[in-house]
Amino acid sequence: MTEQSAVTVSEVLVERRAGVQLITLNRPHAKNAINENVARAVAAAVDELDADDDLRAGVLTGAGGVFSAGMDLKAFLKGERPSLPGRGLCGITQTPPRKPMIAAVEGWALAGGFEIMLACDLVVAGRGARFGVPEAKRSLVAAGGGALELANRVPRALALEMLLTGDPIDAARAESAGLVNRVVDDGGALDAACELAGRIAANGPLAVAASKRVVLESPGWGQDRWERHAEIVEPVLGSEDAREGATAFAEKRDPVWRGR
C-alpha cells in the first residue's frame, strides 16, 4: 500500500513506502527528459524528504524502462531551464538532499539524467542500463555536475574517457568502476533500490545523516578535520537515539528511533 504525496504532479510521481520516499520521473514518451516542471517537482519532493521525520531515505527512478535522457531540448529552446538558482539541476546537483538518495536505473541515464543520478548517493541498475555524458559530441560541456563530479565517483581516467569521447558505458563497467552499487536483472532495479533504502531507513536517522555529511564534506577539510568530525559526530553519540540503540541491543529488541 502506498500513500500518494501532495507534491505529486503528472510528470513526477511521489509515493511513500514505509519510511522511503519514491520519486518517479513520469515522461516515458519523452524518455523522461527533464523540463522546468519536472525540475521543480523533484526539488519539492526532495524538500519534503528532508523536512519529514517519517521519511528516512529516498529513491529516484524513471518510468517506462528509462531513467532519463537528460534535459528536454524542446523545452530549452522555448526558454525553460531545468535548474534552480543556487540548487542546480532538479534542485539536487548543487545541493543534494541531507538524507540518503538511491537512483534506480533502467535503460539510459544520459547527460542531465546522468548528472541527477550522480547527485544520488547510491545506484542500483538493471543489467541493460547505460550511462553517459555525450555533451562533447555536440560541442557542449556536462555543466550540470558531470564534468565537476564524475572524477569523484570513478577513476580519473574513466571520467576523462566518458567526458571526452561522449561514449556511454554499460552497467557491468559502471559497477566495476564503483559508480554502481548493485547490478540486477533488467526490470528489478526499483525493487532492489527500495529494499536497499528500507535497510537504510531501519537505522538511526541521526547516525545516517551524520555519516553521509562526514563523507561528503570531509574531502575539503584541512588539518582541523578531526575537530570538524567531532562537531558532527559527538551530538549523535550523546543522543537519545544512541542510548536507545544500545538499550535495544541489550534487550534483544528492535530500536524505536525518535531522531533526537
Look over the chain and give the mean of its residue pLDDT values, rounded to a whole number. 91
Residue 260 counted as domain residue: no
Domain enclosing residue 245, as ranges: 205-251
pLDDT band at 71 (very low <50, low <70, confident <90, very high): confident
pLDDT digit string (tens) for 36-63?
Answer: 899 999 999 999 999 999 999 999 999 9
* Helices (H), ranges, the chain: 36-51, 73-77, 111-118, 146-153, 156-165, 171-176, 189-201, 205-217, 225-237, 240-251
pLDDT at 9 over 90: no
Q: What confidence score (pLDDT) does residue 259 get? A: 84
* Active-site annotation holder among 135, 161, 234, 251: 135
State mean pLDDT over 86-100.
92
32: nearest Cα among 113, 119, 122, 128: 113
pLDDT of residue 18: 87
CA contacts within 13 A on the Cβ side of 61: 27
Looking at the chain, how many residues does it have?
260
At 138, list the grid cell: 555536440
State whether 88 and 180 are in the same domain: yes
Which amino acid is residue 187, in one-letter code?
G
How confident is the model at residue 140, as a pLDDT?
A: 86
Catalytic residue among 48, 106, 115, 175, which? 115
CATH number at residue 175: 3.90.226.10
Q: Say whether pLDDT at 1 is over 50.
A: no
Domain-embedded: residue 258: no
Measured distance CA(135)–CA(27) in Å, rounded: 22
Confidence of residue 84 (pLDDT cuts 50, 70, 90): confident
- Same domain for 113 and 241: no
**What's residue 180's pLDDT?**
97
Residue 156 and residue 228 in one domain: no
51 burial level (CB within 10 Å; 0-12, 13-18, 19+): exposed
Which of 1-15, 106-120, 166-180, 224-238 has the lowest average pLDDT? 1-15
Residues with Cβ within 8 Å of residue 12, at least 6 apart in sequence: 23, 24, 25, 26, 37, 38, 41, 42, 45
Cα atoms in the Cβ-side hemisphere of radius 13 Å centred on 7 = 22
User: 202 vs 121, 215, 256, CA distance in Å?
Assistant: 17, 20, 9
pLDDT at position 196: 97
Share of the chain above pLDDT 70, in %: 96
What nine digits make up the cell of 103? 537512483
Please tell me the total count of domains within the chain: 2
* Cα 252 to Cα 260: distance, rounded to the nearest angstrom: 21
What mean pLDDT do residues 209-218 have?
91
Helices (H), 78-155: 111-118, 146-153
Is 256 part of any domain? no
Residues 240 and 195 in one domain: no
- The answer to whether 7 and 14 have CB atoms below 8 angstroms apart is yes
Model confidence at 99: pLDDT above 60: yes
| Cα 63 from Cα 89, distance rounded (Å) | 19
Share of the chain above pLDDT 90, in %: 75
Separation CA 21–CA 57 (nearest Å): 6
Note the pTM of the prediction, 2 decimals: 0.89
Q: Bigger pLDDT: 5 or 201?
A: 201
If asked whether residues 21 and 129 sit together in one domain, one would say yes
Question: Closest Cα to residue 33, out of 142, 110, 146?
Answer: 110
Mean pLDDT value across residues 125-129: 97
**Residues 136, 118 share a domain:** yes
Tell which of 201, 219, 240 closes a domain.
201
Of 186, 201, 216, the last residue of a domain is 201
- Residues 197, 219 within the same domain: no
User: For this structure, is 135 an active site residue?
Assistant: yes
Per-residue model confidence as pLDDT tens digits over 156-213? 999 999 999 999 999 999 999 999 999 999 999 999 999 999 999 999 999 999 999 9
Grid coordinates representing 61 are 527512478
Q: How far apart are CA 38 and CA 90, in angstroms?
A: 7
pLDDT score, position 75 = 72
